Chains A and B, each alone.
Chain A
Amino acid sequence: MPADIYFNVAVGGVLTGLVYGLMALGLSVIFGVVRVVNFAHGEMMTIAMYIAVTLFAAFHLDPLVMLVPIAAVLFAFGYVLQSRLINPFITRPEHSQFLLLVALAIIIVNVLLIAYGPDARSVQASYAYDSFLVGPLIVDATKLYAGVAAILVAAALFAFFRYTRLGTAIRACADNYTGALVVGLDVRHLYALTFGLGAACVGAAGAILVLIVDVTPAIGPVYTLLAFVIVITGGLGSMPGALLGGVLIGLTEAMAGLLFSPSAKSMFAFGILVLVLLFRPQGIMGKRTA
């Protein structure tokens, strides 16, 4: 097999992995601060994808241009969801939180099914079929734009948490819940803000991913599972870990498909997950807890 095939596949895997990473980043942010595992994560991304599809169909608006407004809508959705629905469950047993979010996921899937029907929908951007020739490499233009957008969004999120007072306050909540209360932080508001940010992340990922993948109401659970694999591999609660996990899973799936069998792609991704759980349970970049 020609060597350029390996490079082509590897580049494609890394670019797709970056978008996966952005999606998983939202899950990691929410868990890292609020300590709630969002089992409706993939379904929330599906909402963003349908918003992108609707805007494109009605006004021909490019999902990449609409990335910020879509993220803002999902931010508002996440904020309201956390402050009105999830906050009362924060102190309840984990199985209650689990059932609440699974119920939410099922409701989202069925509402989308009623609203849009079961058929797959896509966005046919003007560059949907473009590719760049770089020497022997053929780089998919859509994946390249998606990968760059994912890096920019992730960088903005990192900057927010590191360099803003609000970001610092949220990190304080994550590090020490009681301490945050003692110093007078409005923890409930900060939790809602964090859930909103996680939802905005997944909204941005949905707006980007709709350029690569057709959306149906039923795809949500697949991406929820994928996000879990990525954040557990990268380290639950670690933002760089989520991005790294995404790239690792994307690259592994691509190379496994090429070197072994495409049917075995997921097997290798889950194989990495098992290895991480066995030898580094906190994830590649996660912190070991006592």
Chain B
Amino acid sequence: MNNKLHFSSHRVTRRIVAAGLGTSALAAAAPFNIVRAQGAALKVGVLLPRSGFEAGIGQDCQRGVDITAGILKDAGLPPLQIMNADTESSPDIARSQAEKLIGNGAQLLVGAFDSGQTTAIAQVAEQKGIPLVINIAAAPPITEQGYKFVFRNFPTAGMILRDAFIGQKEVFAAVGAAPKTVVFMHVNDTFGTAMSKGIGAMMPKFDMPYKIAEEIAYDPAARDLSVEISKAKATGAEALLLVSRLNDAILLTRELVKQRWTPMAILSMGPGWYEDQYLKTLGKLSDGPLSFVPWYDPNKPMSKKLEAALAKAHPGVNLNTNHVFTFEALLIAANAYKRAGSADPKALADAIRTTNITDNVSIGPGIQFDAKGQNDKIVGGTIQNRRGQIVTVAPKTAANAKAEWPLAPYDKRG
């Protein structure tokens, strides 16, 4: 018996070993078009502003990423391998980070909260042929470019405004009252200015019961908004209509209290007034403002699962737009991966295009995309701050509370 091992026909030579190693190295390094069998995790590059001036919101979106894995598993969806990237709140960095993620093997991208950064990422995704599922970005042009690999599960600025006016009328009808005059205060950045123009163009179509007594634009980085509130109060308007950010929302509320003015209502059509930091910083003074924003339907089963997962992972944090739409972007990715049966970018894009998820979180019938890659079925919500929590007051189909009206006087809140 010969104990030696013979490789007469398959002798391993140094040349074969070298060729094998070379092939393995090439396979490992090849960044594009890796088609993996189902069972392997889909590599998803998540681009968010984790530092820079939008870091707070980026990190809040990250909470939505953190709580996703367990829910997807329970729903029988394939796992995702998350590859995090920081856009540093800059479109240029967002672009280079998207390229880097794709170079490192990302098979699908998700991001990026900000319209400017998302626009830059969308260009890269389209150029490289890697699907991008937008979590949050409202600028309409992103889905007007004819892109084949870009999908947005978030309302455009026009949809947000439309739903804000509809929501206001629903609240006015429910409480049987409405302001006759409002002061329109807005930040003077890209978002605030675009919303101001949009309101000017769309308001006449909705036959609103109020007139705008004065429009006051201010710097979102303002250190002091006492003058703005003095000016608004002097108009004698009954309510405030706002497009603001977080810090200025806190400053405005403080000034309302200090200047002893409680308007009939605070109607916000942007972020700020419902965010956790607003609620925690102002306590009882945070109660009452109505916000008209893309939101979640608290009555949907998936919303309850998401709320429970967030409460477990981040106790004391209220579920919000950032978590909801970041989660849904990953839900879309996992759902498409399952149906595509492959991580091939084109197959993934085709699967996303035919998405029809009804077991979702955001308000509306579910997640579907039109020919432009836009989910045009999303419906905006009307929410109100209530003792440190957020309740949904409209639309009726998604409401879990009735609107409290008018705003409780600030000096009688204890």
Contacts and interface: CB of A to CB of B under 8 A. Distances in A.
Interface of A: 1-2, 5, 8-9, 12-13, 16, 113, 117-120, 122, 124, 128-131, 138, 140-142, 212-214, 216, 218, 222, 253-254, 257-258, 261-263, 265-266
Given A262-B216, A262-B217, A1 B234 contact: yes
18 contacts: A5-B231, A8-B259, A117-B56, A119-B277, A129-B254, A142-B258, A212-B223, A213-B223, A254-B227, A257-B227, A257-B228, A257-B231, A258-B227, A258-B231, A261-B216, A262-B219, A263-B218, A266-B219
Interface string B235-248: 00000000000110
B227 A12 contact: yes
B219 A218 contact: no
The 3 closest A-B pairs by CB, nearest first: A257-B227, A118-B55, A262-B218
A222 to B, nearest CB: 7
B59 A118 contact: yes
Interface in B39-57: 51, 53, 55-56
A262 B223 CA distance: 12
Interface in B199-237: 216-219, 221-228, 230-231, 233-234
Contact of B217 (A5, A12, A213, A263): A263
A15 to B, nearest CB: 10
A212 B258 CA distance: 12
Interface core residue of B224, B231, B251 (most chain A CB under 10 Å):
B224
B258 A138 contact: yes
Interface residues of B, number: 35
B53 A120 contact: no
B260 A263 contact: no
A138 B250 CA distance: 20
A271 B250 CA distance: 29
B226 A118 contact: no
A257 B224 CA distance: 11
A131 B231 CA distance: 18
B281 interface: yes
A117 B50 CA distance: 11
B188 interface: yes
Given A140-B226, A214-B250, 20 more contacts: A1-B231, A12-B227, A117-B55, A118-B55, A128-B254, A129-B254, A129-B258, A130-B258, A131-B258, A131-B260, A138-B258, A213-B223, A213-B224, A214-B251, A216-B247, A254-B227, A257-B231, A262-B222, A262-B228, A263-B217
A16 B56 CA distance: 28
A128 B283 CA distance: 13
B357 interface: no
A225 B231 CA distance: 27
A1 B225 CA distance: 18
A12 B226 contact: yes
Contacts, number: 95
A262 B226 contact: no
A263 B219 contact: yes
Contacts of B250: 120, 122, 214
Contacts of A140: 226, 258
Contacts of B221: 222
Given A118-B59, A262-B216, A214 B227 contact: no
Nearest to A250: B224
A218 B221 CA distance: 11
Contact of A129 (B224, B251, B257): B257
Interface in B113-129: none
A225 B227 CA distance: 22
A222 B223 CA distance: 10
The binding surface of chain B is classed by DSSP as helix
A258 B223 contact: no
Contact of B56 (A5, A119, A130, A131): A119
B285 interface: yes
A223 to B, nearest CB: 9
Contacts of A5: 230-231, 233-234
Contacts of A142: 258
A222 B233 CA distance: 28
A147 B371 CA distance: 60
Contacts of B216: 261-262
Contacts of B260: 131, 138
B227 A262 contact: yes
A19 to B, nearest CB: 10
B223 A218 contact: no
Contact of A120 (B225, B226, B231, B247): B247
Given A113-B51, A119-B56, A131-B260, A9 B227 contact: yes
Nearest to A122: B281
A87 to B, nearest CB: 33
Contact of B226 (A9, A124, A222): A9
Residue among B225, B250, B281, B410 with max Cβ neighbours from chain A (10 Å): B281
Contacts of B224: 12, 16, 212-213, 253
Contacts of B56: 117-119
A257 to B, nearest CB: 4
Residue among B51, B226, B231 having the largest count of chain A Cβ atoms under 10 Å: B226
Interface in B263-292: 277, 281, 285
Contacts of A128: 254
Contacts of B228: 257, 262
Contacts of B218: 262-263
Contacts of A129: 254, 257-258, 285, 410
A112 to B, nearest CB: 12
A106 to B, nearest CB: 13
Residue picked from A131, A216, A257, A266, most chain B C-beta under 10 Å: A257
Interface centre among A124, A129, A258 (most CB of B within 10 A): A129
Contacts of A2: 234
Contacts of B259: 8, 131, 138
A138 B254 CA distance: 14
